[in-house]
Chain A
Amino acid sequence: MAKKVRAVVTLQIPAGKANPAPPVGTALGPQGINIMEFCKAYNEQTKAMEGVIPARITVFEDRSFNFILKTPPASDLLRRAAGIPKGSAKNLTQRAGSITRAQLTEIAKIKLPDLNTDNLDDAMRIVEGSARSMGIEVN
């Protein structure tokens, strides 16, 4: 089929730390795109950021590509707001931590551009649902 887009992939990687090792190498290598160029551009654009910053990469038929940065995963924002270290979600049914309503609002505002809504209240409900599933309470 004639087309200009070859593949689309979102990489969730730590800001400023892209390197050719997996998952960047495994995700982009088979597409034949310039991995060093991606790493350089991603690290430059995310150098002042923290945590996981997803990049949505579009690979074109001629193996050129472009990418846009997306908002951090809600889980990452929630865990950081609640002060829960990465990898400590072993007891999902138990209370893992808590955040304030102001923190919830802040996270919902950050996530708004990537959610299927323009309404902040809806966004807060979505993020609160994610928090609940992670054992994080909103006080």
Chain B
Amino acid sequence: MNFQELYYKYKNTVYNLAVQYVQNIEDAEEITQDVFLKIHQNLNRFEKRADLKTWIYRITINTSLDYLKSKKAKKRFSFFISLFHNESNEPLFQVSDFNHPGIELENKEAVERIFRIINELPDRQKTVIILSKIEGKSQKEISEIMQINVKAVESLIQRAKSTLSQKIYSQSKGK
């Protein structure tokens, strides 16, 4: 399979998975571009034995998580700079990056609320929730993508659910 065929086969898989991590199309486009550049660079080195789709999933997850980390660092830096140069009336914080294109308007508020909590989860817990609850992957598929055993996936899902419950509980208590 050449690069063009590979792109057209997996572009939506990569793009949709990236959207679940960043919840807006601009960042998802950046991530999709980065993922396919990495695939282009490493296609020759890719071992034919491994599953291509799993490999692409892994690259997309790692690229998305790295992208989020660097974005967070940039935000922190710009906040720090704004402390010293806040001459304009612009707000110190950006209110929201949430602009998920796959959500119906009537569900937007509820889904945005749950995404805000998912975004606070540790990387691995966030990944299992995205793969199992949004992408609809089985525990076996998740274990192959994350290169861990099925029991570890199960335990990660339980831990993620428990963290989410605690966060929802503390949020509702705060209201």
Indicate, yes or no, whether A interacts with B: no
